[in-house]
A = this chain, B = another copy of it.
Amino acid sequence: MAITINQIAQLCGVSRGTVDRALHNKGNVRPEIAARIREVAAEYGYTPNRAGLALSRASHPIKIGVVLHSVQTPFIQLVLDACRREASNLSVFSTDVIFRLSRSLDPLEQVSMIEDLVEQHNISGLAVMPLHSMLVENKINELVEQRQLPVVTLNTDLPNSRRLCYIGQDNYAAGRTAAELMRLVTGGKGIISPIIGPSEYHLAYSERLAGFQSEIAQIAPDIHVQPTHIAEDENECARQATLALLRGCPDLSGIYAITPGYEGVCRAILETGNAHRVHLILHDEIPANLRHVRDGLADFLLGQDAEMQGSLPLTLLCDYIQLRRRPKKNNYFTDIRILLRHNIASLM
């Protein structure tokens, strides 16, 4: 059993209250006594008991804000689910989580959501899936610098901001992985079209495409890459674009579906009836996509760990706020999961 605040008090011949004040630098302790207390605490490796901490906080829970966008997409739904689950675990530690969810890609809206959490709800930490905009970046930096609020980014990063850390995929590496898999199934030749939705505010998407293109150029110079851009990452839009693509390019060897709208892509392939010719690699480990892999329409699925993207940000913030424990890493890259017909049974 670790040492407790009571034992430190006894060892130093003072009361618990004094120890508490000394360890939290609240003043009102004679400097030499404070020093002695901190010394003893360090010597015995004092760590506050979390059950005690939680219980004493029961009437004044800590609040953590979560800001997500694109919540209508199935993958972000999974992240949100994981986040809610972890939130209910954290209620054990007397920590409340407040959600602000958006379906749009509007940086102004995101900034105002953050402001609302800070001003109205007095949060002690923020987990955000940031839009790729200076407005958001500046707001994050302001929170960190002027309010000492810990901020973590999830799913998509703003690497130049002053966030504590990032939890999510290395999207560039995911794109490179897709390239290698495409080389394997096509034999390294033919025309491939990545299909990508609007990526202006969504760094993750453009990184996947860049990784794919750069890797194909290196390992399969005989593959011709011809991106298809769609106006919205949504099924009908994706379907129309895929239909046009398949008709315009009958000898297409492969499609790399980078952004949501997967159902639209799959329907278009089925409708044009060349399911057996076009190789297909999809992102996002959602039930519908798993079914397409099982049924043989898609060769591979690239998954990312929704569970970890939802839970780890809250865990890290909670540790930071309660125990002042800084995250060990700057980037917590989640797995780049490769799923095919043979290893998805336990996920369905």
Contacts and interface: CB of A to CB of B under 8 A. Distances in A.
Given A51-B93, A337-B338, 16 more contacts: A49-B55, A49-B92, A50-B51, A51-B51, A51-B55, A55-B55, A173-B342, A173-B343, A174-B343, A176-B342, A180-B340, A180-B341, A184-B184, A215-B342, A335-B337, A336-B342
Interface of A: 1-2, 49-52, 54-55, 58, 91-94, 170, 173-174, 176-177, 179-180, 184-185, 215, 331, 333, 335-343, 345-346
Contact of A337 (B52, B337, B342, B346): B337
B51 A340 contact: no
Contact of A345 (B58, B93, B173, B180): B173
Contacts of A52: 51, 55
A51 B342 CA distance: 42
10 contacts: A1-B58, A49-B92, A51-B51, A51-B52, A51-B54, A173-B346, A335-B337, A335-B346, A337-B337, A338-B339
So how many copies of this chain end up in the complex?
A: 2
A81 B154 CA distance: 27
A342 B184 contact: no
A241 to B, nearest CB: 27
Nearest to A94: B51
Contacts of A50: 51, 92
Contact of A342 (B49, B91, B180, B335): B180
A100 to B, nearest CB: 22
A338 B341 contact: no
Nearest to A302: B343
Contacts of A331: 346
| Most chain B beta-carbon contacts within 10 A, residue among A1, A51, A185 | A51
Contacts of A180: 340-342
B346 A92 contact: no
A341 B176 CA distance: 10
Given A92-B49, A184-B184, A335-B337, A177 B342 contact: yes
Contacts of A184: 184-185
Contacts of A335: 335, 337, 343, 346
A2 B50 CA distance: 19
A343 B339 CA distance: 13
B343 A338 contact: yes
A173 B174 CA distance: 24
5 closest cross-chain pairs (CB), A and B: A333-B346, A336-B343, A51-B54, A338-B338, A177-B342
Contacts of A55: 49, 51-52, 55
A2 B215 CA distance: 52
A336 B58 CA distance: 41
Contacts of A49: 55, 58, 92
Given A52-B55, A54-B51, A340 B177 contact: yes
